[in-house]
Copies of this chain bind each other. A is one copy, B any other.
Amino acid sequence: MTAGRTRVDAKRLINFSTKALQKLGVPEEDAQITARLLVATDLRGVESHGVAHLNRFYARWIRSGVINATPKPKIFSQAPSTATMDGDRGLGFVIGHRAMMEAMQRAEKTGAGFIAVRNSTHFGAAAGYAMMALEHDMIGIAMTNTIAGVIAPESTKPAVGTNPLAVAVPAGKKTPFVLDMATSVVAGGKLEIARREGTSIPEGWVVDKEGGPVTDPKKRVRGEGGLLPLGGTPKLGGYKGFGLGVLVDILTGVLSGSSAGIIWVNTRENGGLGSGDHFFGALRIDSFLPVENFKKSMDEMIDAFEALPTLPGVKKIYVAGGPEAEIEKDRKANGIPLNPKVIQDLQDLAREVGIEYDL
């Protein structure tokens, strides 16, 4: 943890964020949904997608009219397990939450539910939606497209977004499996953090327009070079990360009736929004096998991974979601350590919308 941070209570942060969003014209329930998802992300240590964006992204976009604070999303369904949704440019959190609920309702009835969403906006971290499935004993899936920042293998220009995909799977006594990964080597948010903290980035994350390595996160200019896809160079499997990024573009953009990111970015007036289309899925575990058998088997698997031998100096092998669960435990007990720049941003927001900064 960087020095100079201040621990802030999660519940107070949710209340503060809810009030600020309400002042911006978001209905109370929608404001609560959004605030909870944002703060849940900070609790899990994913600071690139939490309240740091509240003023910088969401408040600004609501004020400028890019985000519709009172959307009327529409569902189009031709079959019991699937549907598309038009998000009416609502807050991505509100639309995402609604769509994931729809996917789970379909899984409740048929075993599987899948919703492709167009015309939404930036929805924060994908894990929040996938994790909604956990308490229902379902496997949850969430993906979103984002503005192109990732270079296709052997090209020089960004072609797909960091296009994250998240999958959450319940366990028994063990921490749930929660994989939330950009399909690039790193998420754009990690560059944002490096810029905010003034640190350099490792070789292999970003290349310039000649394909050479970039280690200064401030040097990156959109349209010239960009992030590498997961895998990195073609020889080490970069085409796989790129393929996963294209797959996310297909399921979010093409299948929802929007379009693939590479088209979307060039043609759609998106007012600077980082993402617009999503894909959500739910699989009901007890439609495959008894939930208790499944959870027992998950626990055995996680125990076996955690018992693996480690390289010297490494304490423990983690399964996806494990490190975030440990951070969450600490932050629930001791508060979320906010960066001074984020606190400044929230104080500015409080002043602008006319609420007290009481964190």
Question: Measuring CB to CB, which residues of chain A are less than 8 angstroms from any residue of chain B?
Answer: 78-84, 109-114, 116, 139, 152-157, 159, 167, 169, 177, 179, 181, 185-186, 202, 204-205, 210-211, 230-232, 235-237, 239-244, 246-247, 249-251, 253-257, 259-260, 262-263, 266, 283-289, 293-294, 297-298, 300-301, 304-305, 308-311, 314, 317-320
Contact = CB atoms under 8 A, between A and B. Distances in A.
Contacts of A247: 167, 169, 177, 179, 320
B157 A236 contact: no
A335 to B, nearest CB: 27
15 contacts: A78-B288, A82-B110, A82-B112, A82-B288, A152-B305, A152-B308, A156-B310, A181-B237, A181-B244, A186-B237, A230-B240, A231-B232, A246-B320, A256-B288, A257-B289
Which of A83, A236, A239, A256 has the largest count of B CB atoms less than 10 A from its CB?
A236
Nearest to A254: B297
Contacts of A311: 154-156, 210-211
Given A236-B202, A305-B159, A116 B288 contact: yes
Contacts of A262: 301, 304-305
Given A78-B287, A110-B79, A169 B308 contact: no
Which of A111, A241, A257 has the largest count of B CB atoms less than 10 A from its CB?
A111
A83 B309 CA distance: 36
Nearest to A82: B111
Nearest to A241: B230
Contacts of A157: 308-309
Given A139-B250, A250-B298, 14 more contacts: A80-B111, A81-B111, A82-B111, A139-B251, A154-B311, A156-B310, A185-B237, A202-B236, A230-B231, A232-B236, A253-B297, A254-B297, A254-B298, A255-B289
Given A231-B185, A309-B155, A293 B263 contact: no
Contacts of A253: 297
A318 B238 CA distance: 12
Given A263-B300, A297-B260, A82 B230 contact: no
A252 to B, nearest CB: 11
Contacts of A159: 304-305, 308, 317
Q: Which 10 A-B pairs have the closest CB atoms?
A: A79-B111, A82-B111, A260-B301, A79-B287, A81-B112, A243-B320, A179-B243, A81-B110, A81-B111, A154-B314
A305 B82 CA distance: 28
